[in-house]
Amino acid sequence: MSKEEKPLPKPPSTPFGKKRSSEDENNKEPLMADQMAIAMSEGKLEEFLQSNIPDSEYARKLAEMMMGMTGMMPAEGFPSPPAEKISTQEKSSGAQPPEDVISAVQSGDVKSVIEILAREHAKRTGSSVTDAAQEEKTAVAPSPDSPTIDKDVIEQFIKIASENGLSLDWLLLRALKRYVEEYKKNGNL
C-alpha cells in the first residue's frame, strides 16, 4: 500500500462480536461522504474533489452518485476533469446524429429512416445499399410454399365461437388438438 492510499477503516466490533475500545473511535477521521458534506458547506467542494478523488471517470461517477443520493449536488453540476485529460472517445460520444436523421425521426417518416439506416449499414459493412435492401426484402417476404390462412376460415371460426359462447383461442386450440389426433390415427394431412 502506498503512502497516498488510506487504509480501510476498522469495524466497530471484532469478528466475534466484542466491541473495540473507544480510543479507536476518537481517533477516526470522518467518512468520505461526511468530508464532502463539510467541504460543500464551507464552499470548498471543488478543491476537496480535486485533492481527494482520483482523476478517473469511475471515481467521478461514484462521487457524483454519492452526492446525488445525499441531496448535496451543487447547482452548477459536478466539476468536470481537466480538458487535456478528456479522451477522444468521450468527445465522440457527445456527437449529434446528422440533420436528415433528426428531421426524419421528428417528422415520423419511417421509410426515410429505414433508408438512412440501410445506407449507414451498407457503409459500415462494405456492401451496396441495393444488396442490403434485397436482403431485407427477402428476409421479410414469406416464401411461396408457406401456408396462408383464408379470410373465410377465420370468419367461420369467429362465428362458431360467438354462437357457442367460446373464446377464439380456445376454439383454435381445440381444432389443433383434433387435427393432431386425426393425423395420429390416419396419417393424412
Q: What is the pLDDT of residues 101-118, one digit of tens each?
A: 888 888 888 888 888 888
The CA-CA-CA angle for residues 57, 60, 66, to 5°, reads: 140
CA–CA gap between residue 119 and residue 100 (Å, rounded) = 12
Tell me which residue has cell 396419417: 187
CA–CA gap between residue 6 and residue 28 (Å, rounded) = 12
Would you state the torsion angle of the CA atoms of residues 85, 90, 92, 98, taken in this order, to the nearest 10 degrees?
-140
Q: What is the pTM assigned to this prediction?
A: 0.30
Residue-level pLDDT at 19: 73
Q: What percent of the chain has pLDDT over 70?
A: 72
Where do the structural domains in the chain lie, given as residue ranges?
Answer: 22-91, 96-140, 151-186
Residue-level pLDDT at 163: 92
> pLDDT category, 89, cuts 50, 70, 90?
very low
Residue 138 · residue 123 · CB < 8 Å: no
Q: What is the mean pLDDT of residues 128-151?
A: 62
Q: Which residue type does 111 have? A: K
Whether residue 85 is predicted with pLDDT greater than 50 in this model: the reply is: no
Task: Find, among 4, 70, 5, the residue nearest to 39 by Cα.
Answer: 70
Residue 52 · residue 40 · CB < 8 Å: no
